[in-house]
C-alpha cells in the first residue's frame, strides 16, 4: 500500500511537470503561482480582535482578506487553533503577514505503515490479573486509519455493557455505512475526506466508499488488533488457527477514517485528531507516518500534544524504513513510538531442488497443490527482456519461457504478492521469492495467488547458483502447517525503523517493540488477502506485517493499563510499558536483530519488547506533566511561536532558568558525549549528568519499598554512576530523584555504546536503556 502510494504520487508530480514544459513554456513562473495547494493555518486565538464575537468568524475574515474565493476546508478547535484552506503560494504569503497568523504550513501526505499474539505476550494465562470485565470496558481506543468493516466478528458486542457516559462521538453514515453499523463494541465511526478531495478530486466511489467503511483492510486489521472481541475458530485458510482477539477485548473502538486509496492528508488527520479529542477517546492509535519535520510543523505531533494534555495516550508506528539508521517517524516525546518484532510462529514452506538440497521458506498459500513430480525451474531474470526482469514486475515475464515452470523472483520494488500474480498471469506454475541484501534473512509470509514460498538472501543465492549451474534445473515446494515455538523469538524485524532520533538525538526512539510480523486480525470483505484486484478470494481474517501491526498491540495494551489504573497519565502508562519491557531471552542472550543476525541495540528495540503482565505492576514510573513537556520545548530553544504551534498557548520560557533535555523525565537515556577541545588538541574527560524522578505506584499494604540500582554498560571507557544508589519509598505516589553521571576517560572504540540502568526492590525491576553516542 505504502509503495503504491509513493509511485502514484511521483506519477502526479511528473505529469504536472511535463505539462509545464510542453504547454506553458513561457509562463512557467506565472502558472506555478496560480496553483492552489492545501495549507494548514495556525492562528493565535488570544489575539482575536474584540470586534469579533466568534473565532470562526475571525478565521473566515482573515482568510477572505487574502482570497475572496478560498474555501474553509476545516476549522480546528482542539488539536490546534486554526483552519485548513486552498491557497496559491502568493496568497499563502500574504496570509502569513496578517495579524494573528502564527504559521501557514503546506499540507503533508502521510502513508500507512503497512491468534497467537495474546498468548505470546502472556496475556491468556493471566487474563484474570487484568480487571478487564469492568475497568477496560470504559476505555475507548480511537484508530485513525482506513476505516472499519463493521461486519467483522471482531466487532461483536455480545455481553458488552452500555456505552461509557464519557463518549461524545458519533457514528456517521455514508456510502454503505449507517449508524446501525455501530454497536457497543464499535461505538463510533467518522470519515475525513475534505482535504483529500480538495487535492485529488472526488473520491472514486467505484473503488472506495465515502464513509467510515474500510475497503482496504488495514483499518479493520489495526482496530481489531487493538480492541477486537474474542473470535473462536479464526484462521486464514487454516493458517494461524485458533481464537483471534484484540489486546483489550473489552475496550471500545472508535474508527476515524483518514486514509484513502491515494494516501492520508494532514488536513484530514488533524481534523480527525481534533474530533477524537472532543469525542473523549482515551487512547489514539496511528499506524501511519510521513516525513520527519520538526514537531511544530508536524500535524501528528501537534495534534498528539493536545491529546496528551487531555490524558489521551497516543501510540504510533515507528515506520517500515529499517534497518537503516535515522529511519524513524513519529518521534515526539509525547508520542509512544512502536517498532516491530517477530512472534514464535512460522508458516514453513520448503523449496526442494533437483540437486537434493532443501531450503526453508514461508508461505500462506492455500489452494490446488503442485503436482508431486519436480517441475522445471527458471530465474525470472532469464525469462524477461526487462532490465529488472528478476523482480517480476507487471508485464515483464515472457510467457513462453515461464509456462508450467516455477519462477525465482527477487524481492523489492513491487509487492511480493504482485510478483506471484505476474508469474501466474504469464502461465507459471509456482514461485520462489528470494530476499536480496536489503531484507537479509527476514521472511514475511503472504497469501499468494499461486503456490509460492519466500526464502532469505543466503538461500536465494544458493538457489541461484543451482539454477545457473544446472542445464535443466528442477524444483518443487512443500507446504507445511503452522509451526509454533520458533526460537529465538522475538527478533527485531528488519523493516522496523531504527534510531537514533533524527529530530532530538537526546530522546531515545523507538520507545519499544511489539509483535508486527505475520499478525492475524480482522479484514475487510471488499478485497482479498493480497489486496490485489485480481484476488477474488474473501477472508474474515488476514495475516499481514508492519509497524502498522505492532502499534495497535501497544495501543490495546495501553487501554488495558488505563482500565486498571484510570488515574495514570499517558507518560505513566508509557513508562510502565517501557521499564518492564524485556531485552533478553529466557536463556539470558540479548534479543536479536534479524537484519544483522546479531544482538539488537536500544536504537533497534528501544526499551525492549513489551511485557504487558509486568507493565500492570511496574513498581515505579517516570511521570511527565504538560509543564515538563513545555520545559522540554524551552530546552530545545523553541521560539514563542514554535511553542504556540505545538502547545496552543503563549508560554514564555524564563530566560534566567536553565532548561536541560538531560533532565527531561524520560524513561530512557540518550547520552551525547563530546571530545573536549583544549587549546586546539582534544583532551579532558567528557562528563554529562542526567536527573530523573521516580514515582512510587507500587500500591499494596504499606506501599513502600527500597530500590537498589544496578548498572551495566558495553563500553569499558564510559563510566556510569548513579547517586543515590538506593531509593526508599514509604508511601504511594511518593517521588524520589536520582542523578546519573556518564563520563568518558578516553574516546570509546565505537561511536555508539549501550548500557542499562535498573532499579529493583526484589519484586519489581524498573529498567531503562542507555544509548551513548560520541561526537
Ligand X SMILES: *[C@@H]1O[C@H](CO)[C@@H](O)[C@H](O)[C@H]1NC(C)=O
Answer for the pair 302, 646: CB distance below 8 angstroms, yes or no. Answer: yes
Please report whether residue 676 would count as binding ligand X according to CB under 6 A: no
Residue tagged active-site, from 285, 497, 548, 614: 548
Which residues are 466's β-sheet partners? Answer: none
Cβ proximity to ligand X, 102 vs 193, nearer residue: 102
Angle at 29 between CA 28 and CA 31, to 5 degrees: 70
Q: Which of 122, 114, 118 is nearest to 154 (CA)?
A: 118
Cβ proximity to ligand X, 360 vs 617, nearer residue: 360
CB of 430 to ligand X, least distance (A): 15
**Of 44, 163, 244, 581, which lies in the binding site for ligand X, with binding defined by CB under 6 A?**
44
**Of 636, 671, 740, 771, which lies in the binding site for ligand X, with binding defined by CB under 6 A?**
636
Please report whether residue 394 would count as binding ligand X according to CB under 6 A: no
Using CA atoms, how far apart are residues 155 and 548, in angstroms rounded to an integer? 20
Please report whether residue 350 would count as binding ligand X according to CB under 6 A: yes
Q: Which stretch binds ligand X (CB under 6 A): 135-143, 154-162, 374-382, 591-599?
A: 374-382
Active site residue 25: no
**Of 149, 379, 582, 759, which lies in the binding site for ligand X, with binding defined by CB under 6 A?**
379
DSSP string, 488-499: S--EE-TTS---
The alpha carbon of 627 is separated from its chain's Cα centroid by a whole number of angstroms, namely: 27
Residue the block writes with cell 530465474: 379
Answer for the pair 147, 214: CB distance below 8 angstroms, yes or no. Answer: yes
Active site residue 663: no
Cβ proximity to ligand X, 201 vs 762, nearer residue: 201
Cβ proximity to ligand X, 650 vs 676, nearer residue: 650
**Of 183, 355, 640, 675, which lies in the binding site for ligand X, with binding defined by CB under 6 A?**
640
Residue tagged active-site, from 42, 113, 218, 553: 218
SS (H, E, C) 79-110: CCCEEEEEECHHHHHHHHCCCCEEEEEECCEE
What phi and psi values does residue 719 have, to the nearest 5 degrees? -100, 135
Q: Which stretch binds ligand X (CB under 6 A): 18-26, 138-146, 292-300, 377-385?
A: 377-385
**Of 365, 644, 729, 759, which lies in the binding site for ligand X, with binding defined by CB under 6 A?**
644
Query: In sequence order, what E strands does 537-656 have?
Result: 541-544, 592-593, 598-599, 620-621
Residue 681 in grid coordinates: 588538541
Answer for the pair 231, 156: CB distance below 8 angstroms, yes or no. Answer: yes
Please report whether residue 468 would count as binding ligand X according to CB under 6 A: yes
Cβ proximity to ligand X, 88 vs 691, nearer residue: 691
Cβ proximity to ligand X, 523 vs 644, nearer residue: 644
Cβ proximity to ligand X, 514 vs 527, nearer residue: 527
Please report whether residue 650 would count as binding ligand X according to CB under 6 A: yes
Q: Which of 761, 646, 770, 644 is nearest to 712 (CA)?
A: 770
Cβ proximity to ligand X, 196 vs 738, nearer residue: 196
Please report whether residue 321 would count as binding ligand X according to CB under 6 A: no
Q: Which stretch binds ligand X (CB under 6 A): 52-60, 183-191, 378-386, 539-547?
A: 378-386
CB of 765 to ligand X, least distance (A): 32
Residue 747 in grid coordinates: 574516546
Instruction: Identify residues 714-753 at the interface with ligand X (CB under 6 A).
Output: none
Q: Which stretch binds ligand X (CB under 6 A): 165-173, 259-267, 558-566, 637-645?
A: 637-645
Burial readout 157-183 (b: 16 or more C-beta within 10 A, e: otherwise)? eeebeebeeebebebbbbeebeeebbb
**Of 382, 436, 693, 752, which lies in the binding site for ligand X, with binding defined by CB under 6 A?**
382
CB of 539 to ligand X, least distance (A): 15
Cβ proximity to ligand X, 152 vs 575, nearer residue: 152
Cβ proximity to ligand X, 317 vs 642, nearer residue: 642
Instruction: Identify residues 87-116 at the interface with ligand X (CB under 6 A).
Output: 102
Residue 221 in grid coordinates: 486489521
Please report whether residue 159 would count as binding ligand X according to CB under 6 A: no
**Of 75, 88, 94, 176, which lies in the binding site for ligand X, with binding defined by CB under 6 A?**
176
Answer for the pair 12, 35: CB distance below 8 angstroms, yes or no. Answer: no
CB of 468 to ligand X, least distance (A): 6
**Of 385, 469, 472, 681, which lies in the binding site for ligand X, with binding defined by CB under 6 A?**
385
Q: Which stretch binds ligand X (CB under 6 A): 411-419, 490-498, 636-644, 727-735?
A: 636-644
Taking CB under 6 A as the rule, which mask of x and - marks residues 504-543 in contact with ligand X?
----------------------------------------
Cβ neighbours of residue 257 closer than 8 Å, sequence gap 6 or more: 145, 146, 147, 148, 189, 190, 191, 192, 193, 211, 212, 213, 214, 219
Give the H/E segment covering residue 8: helix 2-22
Cβ proximity to ligand X, 46 vs 706, nearer residue: 46
Cβ proximity to ligand X, 473 vs 563, nearer residue: 473
CB of 504 to ligand X, least distance (A): 8
The three-class DSSP label of residue 444 is coil
Cβ proximity to ligand X, 230 vs 401, nearer residue: 401
Please report whether residue 641 would count as binding ligand X according to CB under 6 A: yes
**Of 88, 293, 325, 352, which lies in the binding site for ligand X, with binding defined by CB under 6 A?**
352
Residue the block writes with cell 503561482: 33
| Entry field: residues in the chain | 775
CB of 100 to ligand X, least distance (A): 9
CB of 333 to ligand X, least distance (A): 13
**Of 209, 306, 342, 548, which lies in the binding site for ligand X, with binding defined by CB under 6 A?**
209
- Whole-angstrom CA distances from 517 to 328, 489, 716 are 18, 11, 36
Residue tagged active-site, from 113, 136, 138, 145: 145
Answer for the pair 73, 40: CB distance below 8 angstroms, yes or no. Answer: no
The three-class DSSP label of residue 198 is helix
Q: Which of 578, 506, 509 is nearest to 773 (CA)?
A: 506
Say how many CA atoms lie within 13 Å of 663 toward its Cβ. 11
Please report whether residue 205 would count as binding ligand X according to CB under 6 A: yes
CB of 20 to ligand X, least distance (A): 34
Query: Is residue 529 classed exposed, middle or buried when 0-12, 13-18 and 19+ CB atoms within 10 A define those classes?
Result: buried
CB of 641 to ligand X, least distance (A): 5
Cβ neighbours of residue 352 closer than 8 Å, sequence gap 6 or more: 358, 359, 374, 475, 476, 477, 478
Q: Do the strands 474-479 and 375-379 form a parallel or antiparallel pair, or are they unpaired?
A: antiparallel
What phi and psi values does residue 123 have, to the nearest 5 degrees? -80, -30
Total residues in contact with ligand X, by rule CB under 6 A: 22
Please report whether residue 175 would count as binding ligand X according to CB under 6 A: yes
CB of 382 to ligand X, least distance (A): 4
CB of 586 to ligand X, least distance (A): 24
Residue the block writes with cell 484510570: 566
CB of 626 to ligand X, least distance (A): 17
CB of 525 to ligand X, least distance (A): 7
Active site residue 548: yes
Answer for the pair 610, 514: CB distance below 8 angstroms, yes or no. Answer: yes
The binding site for ligand X (CB under 6 A) comprises 44, 102, 175-176, 205, 209, 350, 352, 358, 379, 381-382, 385, 398, 468, 478, 636-637, 640-641, 644, 650
Q: Point out the residues that are catalytic.
A: 145, 218, 548
Amino acid at each position: 500500500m505504502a509503495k503504491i502510494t509513493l509511485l502514484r504520487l511521483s506519477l502526479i508530480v511528473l505529469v504536472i511537470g511535463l505539462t509545464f514544459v510542453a504547454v506553458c513554456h513561457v509562463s512557467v513562473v506565472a502558472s506555478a503561482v496560480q496553483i492552489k495547494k492545501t495549507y494548514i493555518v495556525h492562528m493565535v486565538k488570544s489575539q482575536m480582535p474584540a470586534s469579533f464575537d466568534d473565532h470562526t468568524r475571525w478565521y473566515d475574515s482573515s482568510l477572505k482578506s487574502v482570497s475572496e474565493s478560498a474555501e474553509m476546508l476545516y476549522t480546528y478547535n482542539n488539536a490546534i487553533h486554526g483552519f485548513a484552506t486552498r491557497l496559491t503560494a502568493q496568497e499563502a504569503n500574504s496570509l502569513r503577514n496578517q495579524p494573528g497568523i502564527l504559521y501557514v504550513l503546506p499540507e503533508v501526505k502521510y502513508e500507512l505503515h503497512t491468534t497467537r499474539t495474546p498468548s505470546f505476550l502472556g496475556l491468556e494465562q493471566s487474563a484474570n490479573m487484568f480487571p478487564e470485565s469492568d475497568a477496560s470496558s470504559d476505555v475507548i481506543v480511537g484508530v485513525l486509519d482506513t476505516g472499519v468493516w463493521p461486519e467483522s466478528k471482531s466487532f461483536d458486542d455480545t455481553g458488552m455493557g452500555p456505552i461509557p457516559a464519557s463518549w461524545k462521538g458519533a457514528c456517521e453514515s455514508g456510502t454503505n455505512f449507517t449508524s446501525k453499523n455501530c454497536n457497543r463494541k464499535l461505538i463510533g465511526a467518522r470519515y475525513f475526506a475534505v482535504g483529500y478531495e480538495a487535492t485529488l478530486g472526488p473520491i472514486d466511489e467505484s473503488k472506495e466508499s465515502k464513509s467510515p467503511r474500510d475497503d482496504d483492510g488495514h483499518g479493520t486489521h489495526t482496530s481489531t488488533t487493538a480492541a477486537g472481541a474474542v473470535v473462536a475458530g479464526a484462521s486464514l485458510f487454516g493458517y494461524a488457527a485458533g481464537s483471534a482477539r484484540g489486546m483489550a477485548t473489552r475496550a471500545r473502538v472508535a474508527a476515524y477514517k483518514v486514509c484513502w486509496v491515494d494516501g492520508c492528508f494532514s488536513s484530514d488527520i488533524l481534523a480527525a485528531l481534533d474530533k477524537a479529542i472532543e469525542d473523549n477517546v482515551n487512547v489514539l492509535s496511528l499506524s501511519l507516518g510521513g516525513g520527519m519535520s520538526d514537531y511544530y510543523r508536524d500535524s501528528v505531533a501537534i495534534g498528539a500534544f493536545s491529546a496528551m494534555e487531555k490524558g489521551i495516550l497516543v501510540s504510533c508506528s515507528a515506520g517500515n524504513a529499517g534497518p537503516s539508521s535515522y529511519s524513524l517517524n513519529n518521534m515526539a516525546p509525547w508520542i509512544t513510538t512502536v517498532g516491530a518484532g517477530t512472534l514464535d510462529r512460522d508458516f514453513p514452506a520448503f523449496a526442494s531442488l533437483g540437486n537434493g538440497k532443501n531450503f526453508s521458506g514461508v508461505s500462506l498459500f492455500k489452494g490446488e497443490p503442485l503436482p508431486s513430480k519436480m517441475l522445471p525451474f527458471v530465474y525470472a531474470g532469464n525469462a524477461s527482456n526487462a532490465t529488472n526482469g528478476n523482480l517480476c514486475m507487471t508485464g515483464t515475464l515472457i510467457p513462453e519461457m515461464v509456462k508450467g515452470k516455477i519462477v525465482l523472483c527477487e524481492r523489492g520494488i513491487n509487492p511480493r504478492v504482485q510478483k506471484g500474480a505476474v508469474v501466474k498471469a504469464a502461465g507459471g506454475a509456482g514461485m520462489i521469492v528470494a530476499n536480496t541484501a536489503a531484507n537479509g534473512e527476514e521472511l514475511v509470509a503472504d497469501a499468494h495467488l499461486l503456490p509460492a514460498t519466500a526464502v532469505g538472501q543466503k538461500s536465494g543465492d544458493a538457489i541461484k547458483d543451482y539454477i545457473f549451474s544446472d542445464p535443466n534445473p528442477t524444483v518443487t515446494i512443500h507446504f507445511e502447517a503452522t509451526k509454533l515455538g520458533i526460537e529465538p523469538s522475538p527478533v527485531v524485524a528488519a523493516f522496523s525503523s531504527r534510531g537514533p532520533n533524527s529530530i532530538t538525538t537526546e530522546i531515545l526512539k523507538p520507545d519499544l517493540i511489539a509483535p508486527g510480523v505475520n499478525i492475524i486480525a480482522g479484514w475487510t470483505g471488499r478485497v482479498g488477502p493480497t489486496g490485489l484486484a485480481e484476488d477474488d478470494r474473501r477472508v474474515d481474517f488476514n495475516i499481514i506485517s508492519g509497524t502498522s501491526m505492532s502499534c495497535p498491540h501497544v495501543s490495546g495494551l495501553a487501554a488495558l493499563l488505563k482500565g486498571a489504573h484510570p488515574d495514570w497519565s499517558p507518560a505513566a502508562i508509557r513508562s510502565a510499558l517501557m521499564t518492564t519491557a524485556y531485552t533478553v531471552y529466557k536463556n539470558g542472550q540479548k534479543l536479536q536483530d534479524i537484519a544483522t543476525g546479531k544482538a539488537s541495540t536500544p536504537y533497534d528495540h528501544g526499551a525492549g519488547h513489551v511485557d504487558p503482565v509486568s507493565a500492570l505492576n511496574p513498581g515505579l514510573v517516570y511521570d511527565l506533566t504538560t509543564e515538563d513537556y513545555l520545559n522540554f520545548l524551552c530546552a530545545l530553544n523553541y521560539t514563542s511561536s514554535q511553542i504556540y504551534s505545538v502547545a496552543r498557548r503563549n508560554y514564555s520560557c524564563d530566560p534566567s532558568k536553565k532548561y536541560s533535555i538531560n533532565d527531561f523525565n524520560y524513561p530512557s537515556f540518550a547520552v551525547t558525549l563530546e571530545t573536549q577541545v583544549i587549546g586546539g588538541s582534544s583532551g579532558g574527560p567528557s562528563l554529562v549528568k542526567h536527573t530523573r524522578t521516580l514515582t512510587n505506584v507500587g500500591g499494596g499494604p504499606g506501599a513502600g519499598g527500597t530500590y537498589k540500582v544496578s548498572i551495566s554498560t558495553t563500553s569499558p571507557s564510559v563510566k556510569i554512576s548513579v547517586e543515590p544508589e538506593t531509593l526508599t519509598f514509604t508511601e504511594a505516589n511518593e517521588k524520589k530523584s536520582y542523578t546519573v553521571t556518564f563520563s568518558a576517560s578516553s574516546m570509546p572504540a565505537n561511536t555508539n555504546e549501550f548500557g542499562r540502568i535498573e532499579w529493583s526492590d526484589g519484586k519489581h525491576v524498573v529498567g531503562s536503556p542507555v544509548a551513548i553516542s560520541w561526537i
